């Protein structure tokens, strides 16, 4: 049941304020400015001995893991990174007893992720799951974890589950941070930010008409570039994947700082760039990248907290805490991919060559 929407993707994008509300519900502890995550099966003493976190997933779940790794590093100060599960499992990785492994999956059935979990467990590693589908194979195989409570996701491409997974990682980062060195004040600040998310997403969804108009311009593009820096880079990766999957427009995502090391050669009026430009300590650096693109007559669409002078158009999103901004900045780009694909007459809920859950190698 599409509940009055034309596609499941549109329904699922629209459901995000409620979905985020669900992942937060019952977990926030205002007394200690932390969150309770009972399913982790990780007592505080054990949590303090973790020296590294490795996050594994595929596709959109891998991108959510990249943002998650950044959240864990910045809030809990534990070295963390994400890697595609299939790459991890075929490179004979060093499995270290002080590393906590986290498997991310919407379906909980993705074979490459499941196989990585099984190999890790066979070697004695501790593996947590960040999963949407309750009781799925990865959820059962993991030593503990958290459900992201996005609700059923029917469209082949993931939207609300991506957002909820990132919020789940913010909760995990806050939890680990408050066991370690994150102050009460910072804990409070993050909790206030988390509580603002559903209302701010609601606000972003109101810019759909504006994004729809923009999408008509981009529907003719052969190729598009997505750039971001540090927290913004995984947002660029995910936005680029979403556009490719449903519109079949070729897209690339690059760290903004890497432009000058090669891809700047591609910039010309026919290759539009979507730039993630949060109002944080990297704002001036990001503006520099916009200038470089403008100097080569590239068209720019910025997602930012204030209109960007060098951009042809800015989608302005509400500001949250720096750490949580990536959650909001991805949402207008889901709508951009959606309306671009719609303008091109694509089968949005069932893009060619793709399946909702990839249970083969």
Give the binding site for ligand F6R (CB under 6 A): 58-61, 105-107, 110, 113, 157-158, 245, 357-358
Element (H, E) at 225: strand 223-228
Q: How many other CB atoms are found less than 10 A from the CB of residue 19? A: 24
By beta-carbon proximity to ligand F6R, the closer residue of 99 and 105 is 105
Q: Report phi then psi at 126, rounded to 5.
A: -95, 125
DSSP-H helix ranges across the chain: 8-14, 16-24, 44-49, 59-76, 85-90, 111-122, 137-141, 160-179, 184-205, 208-218, 232-247, 283-295, 325-329, 331-343
Least distance (Å) between residue 312 CB and ligand F6R: 27
Check residue 349 and report its DSSP letter: S
10 or 319: CB nearest ligand F6R: 10
Q: Which of 103, 62, 53 is nearest to 80 (CA)?
A: 53
- Give me the DSSP letters along 185-211: HHHHHHHHHHHHHHHHHHHHHTTHHHH
Nearer to ligand F6R (CB atom), residue 106 or residue 247 = 106
CB of 179 or CB of 342, closer to ligand F6R = 342
Beta carbon nearer to ligand F6R, 23 or 289:
23
The helix or strand, by DSSP H or E, that contains position 148, with its residue range, turns out to be none
Cβ atoms within 10 Å of 268's Cβ, excluding its own: 10
Measured from the CB atom, the residue of 33 and 60 that comes closer to ligand F6R is 60
Please report how close the Cβ of residue 358 comes to ligand F6R at its closest, in angstroms: 5
The CB-of-102 to ligand F6R minimum distance in angstroms stands at 13
Q: Shortest distance, CB of residue 123 to ligand F6R, whole angstroms? A: 22
Smallest distance, ligand F6R to C-beta of residue 170, A:
18
- Please tell me whether residue 248 adopts helix, strand or coil conformation: coil
Smallest distance from ligand F6R to CB 248, Å: 14
In angstroms, give the least distance from the CB of 165 to ligand F6R: 8
Point out the residue whose Cβ comes nearest to ligand F6R.
Answer: 59
Whose Cβ is closer to ligand F6R: residue 219's or residue 358's? 358
Neighbouring residues of 217: CB distance < 8 A, sequence distance ≥ 6: none
Smallest distance, Å, CB 298 to ligand F6R? Answer: 27
For CA atoms 243, 235, 200, 22, the dihedral sign is positive
> Which strand (E) or helix (H) includes residue 357?
none
The minimum distance between CB 245 and ligand F6R, in angstroms, equals: 6
For tokens 């059923």, the residue is 152
118 exposed, middle or buried (CB, 10 Å; 0-12, 13-18, 19+)?
middle
Tokens of 10: 């549109």
For 42, residues 6+ apart whose C-beta sits below 8 A from its C-beta are 100, 126, 128, 144
Choice between 99 and 110, CB closer to ligand F6R: 110
Nearer to ligand F6R, 139 or 179 (CB): 139
d(CA 162, CA 317): 18
When the beta carbons of 103 and 303 are compared against ligand F6R, the nearer one is 103
Closest distance to ligand F6R from the beta carbon of 355 (Å) = 8
């Amino acid at each position: 049941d599409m509940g009055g929407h034309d596609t499941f993707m549109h329904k699922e994008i629209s459901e995000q304020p409620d979905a985020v509300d669900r992942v937060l519900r019952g977990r926030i502890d205002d007394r200690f400015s932390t969150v309770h995550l009972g399913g982790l099966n990780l007592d505080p003493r054990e949590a303090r001995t973790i020296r590294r976190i490795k996050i594994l997933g595929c596709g959109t779940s891998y991108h959510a893991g990249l943002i998650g790794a950044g959240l864990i590093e910045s809030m809990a100060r534990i070295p963390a990174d994400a890697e595609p599960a299939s790459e991890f499992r075929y490179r004979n990785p060093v499995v270290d007893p002080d590393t906590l492994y986290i498997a991310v999956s919407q379906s909980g059935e993705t074979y490459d992720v499941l196989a990585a979990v099984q190999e890790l467990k066979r070697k004695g590693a501790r593996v947590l799951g960040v999963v949407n589908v309750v009781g799925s194979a990865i959820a059962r195989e993991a030593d503990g974890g958290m459900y992201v409570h996005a609700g059923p996701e029917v469209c082949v491409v993931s939207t609300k589950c991506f957002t909820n997974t990132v919020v789940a990682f913010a909760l995990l980062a806050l939890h680990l941070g408050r066991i370690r060195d994150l102050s009460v004040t910072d804990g409070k600040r993050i909790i206030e930010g988390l509580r603002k998310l559903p209302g701010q997403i609601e606000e972003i969804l109101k810019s759909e008409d504006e994004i729809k108009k923009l999408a008509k311009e981009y529907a003719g593009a052969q190729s598009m570039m997505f750039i971001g820096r540090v927290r913004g880079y995984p947002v660029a990766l995910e936005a680029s994947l979403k556009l490719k999957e449903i519109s079949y427009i070729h897209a690339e995502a690059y760290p903004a700082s890497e432009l000058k090391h090669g891809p700047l050669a591609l910039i010309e009026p026919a290759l539009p760039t979507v730039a993630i430009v949060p109002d944080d300590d990297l704002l001036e650096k990001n503006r520099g990248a916009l200038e470089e693109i403008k100097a080569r007559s590239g068209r720019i669409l910025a997602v930012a907290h204030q209109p960007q002078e060098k951009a042809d158009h800015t989608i302005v999103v509400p500001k949250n805490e720096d750490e949580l901004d990536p959650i909001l900045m991805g949402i207008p780009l889901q709508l951009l991919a959606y309306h671009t694909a719609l303008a091109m007459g694509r089968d949005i809920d069932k893009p060619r060559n793709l399946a909702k859950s990839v249970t083969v190698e």
